[in-house]
Amino acid sequence: MKRRNFIKKASVTGLGLVAVSSAFTSCDETSEKKEASVAMSKPIRPLVIATWDTPLAVETAAKILQNGGSALDAVEQGCRIEEANEKGQSVGKGGLPDRDGDVTLDACIMNDKGDYGAVLGVKNIMHVISVARKVMEDTPHVMLVAEGAEQFAVSKGFKRENLLTEASKKAWEAWKVKAEYKPIINIENHDTIGMLAIDENGNISGACTTSGLAYKMAGRVGDSPIIGGGLFVDNEIGGASATGLGEEVLKTVGSFLIVELMRQGKSPQEACEIAIGRIVNKPGKDFKNFQVGYIALNKQGDTGAYSIHEWFNYTLFQDGENKNIKSDYFNKI
Ligand code: SD4
């Protein structure tokens, strides 16, 4: 087989570079060596990476990919798991409300063609990631906001429901006693889910869903539903997603920046580190009280993650295994 054809075939079947290089040294190898090189040929996909400790969401996405499903279906279905998880207080049902006690959700999705759909500030609908997908696929637009988005969701068969759980209501009532308005994200307590996946055809999609900053001003929207902020995917290059204080992510267009850095040859890890650097190295920036974390993957199946502070972690499904991994971080003082 000619080298060019082999590489093409290897990329179609999902074999990593290890497989490609070992196959080309195999001409003079003994059969034992050949076997060893086959064992080393780990498939780079399916691959799923998601922010925080989200094993069930990632497992759900991985199963879809293992059954030959698309990256787009995988990230949508994976995010739905967290939206339905009432214990997660930064996503979907059970998300912490805004300062008026209303749970408002933001979400966006991107497919491998570079299409994008988003909903912002939506009340009463749990699976906003699926509404975002409908915006992308069934409208000529990319974003719908608040009541318009809710009406659209209902017209597509989504049911209205109360998203404020007893636990989140209690937390809001406790917050109201002092009602301190600090648009600072608690460094440890968040679970916005950003998810990226590569399917068996090598195509990449991404999704991001959140209830945003707890006790935010009514109408406040963060990075999660904004293209290039909370999420960006370019199927030729890779994808990135963010969690943490959305204002800081947006001011540096973080996810877009990471994908563009990868386009220029940076690894996903290097790109995430540079993007965090853009935030913390701003003159006079006091990053002590807020957290931002990024995840990224490239077309070759390399992944990266980096945050400002310790405690950011992510879940990775690769080589048939689901792992929660502690991210490296900037602030080690
Ligand atoms: C936002 N980035 O609305 C989101 C919040 C978040 O876990 O990530 N929470 O700014």
Residue 186 — pLDDT band, cuts 50, 70, 90? low
For ligand 1, the distance from its centroid to the CA atom of residue 250, given in whole angstroms, is 11
**Strands 238-244 vs 292-298: parallel, antiparallel or unpaired:** antiparallel
The ranges assigned to domains in the chain are 44-329
Is the minimum distance from the CB of 224 to ligand 1 under 6 angstroms?
Answer: yes
Residue with more model confidence, 10 or 302: 302
* Mean pLDDT score, 318-323: 93
> What pLDDT is attached to residue 185?
59
> What pLDDT is attached to residue 11?
37
Q: Which of 51, 182, 243 to mutate to test ligand 1, by most ligand atoms within 8 A of the CB atom? A: 243
Tokens of 60: 């759900």
Pairwise CA distance, residues 317 & 306, whole Å: 18
Which of 4-8, 34-38, 245-249 shows the lowest per-residue confidence on average (mean pLDDT)?
A: 4-8
- Would the pLDDT of 83 be above 90? yes
Residue 217 is given by DSSP the state P
Q: Which of 87, 98, 224, 295 to mutate to test ligand 1, by most ligand atoms within 8 A of the CB atom? A: 224
Confirm whether 60 is a catalytic residue. no
Report the chain's mean pLDDT, rounded to a whole number. 87
Kindly report the CA angle at 89 between 84 and 90, in degrees rounded to 5?
A: 90
Residue 311 is given by DSSP the state T
Residue 89 — pLDDT band, cuts 50, 70, 90? confident
Which residue has the least CA distance to atom 3 on ligand 1?
A: 212
Is the minimum distance from the CB of 98 to ligand 1 under 6 angstroms?
Answer: no
Candidates 195, 290, 188, 284; CA nearest to 249 is 290
Which residue has the least CA distance to atom 6 on ligand 1?
A: 244
Residue with more model confidence, 179 or 42: 179
Tokens of 333: 């003082």
Residue with more model confidence, 88 or 139: 139
Which of 124-138, 166-180, 240-254 shows the lowest per-residue confidence on average (mean pLDDT)?
A: 166-180
Atom of ligand 1 nearest to the CA of 106: 3
At residue 310, the 3 state secondary structure works out as coil
Residue 88 — pLDDT band, cuts 50, 70, 90? confident
**pTM score, whole prediction:** 0.87
In this structure, which topology does domain 44-329 adopt according to CATH? Answer: Glutamine Phosphoribosylpyrophosphate, subunit 1, domain 1 (3.60.20)
φ/ψ of 168, rounded to 5, equals -70, -35
* Mean pLDDT score, 241-264: 97
Percent of the chain residues topping a pLDDT of 90: 76
Residue 318 — pLDDT band, cuts 50, 70, 90? very high
- Would the pLDDT of 104 be above 70? yes
pLDDT digits (tens, 9 = 90+) for 125-135: 999 999 999 99
Which candidate in 192, 209, 243, 252 is catalytic? Answer: 192
* 53 burial via Cβ count (<10 Å: 0-12, 13-18, 19+): middle
pLDDT digits (tens, 9 = 90+) for 8-61: 333 333 333 333 333 333 334 444 444 444 444 445 779 999 999 999 999 999
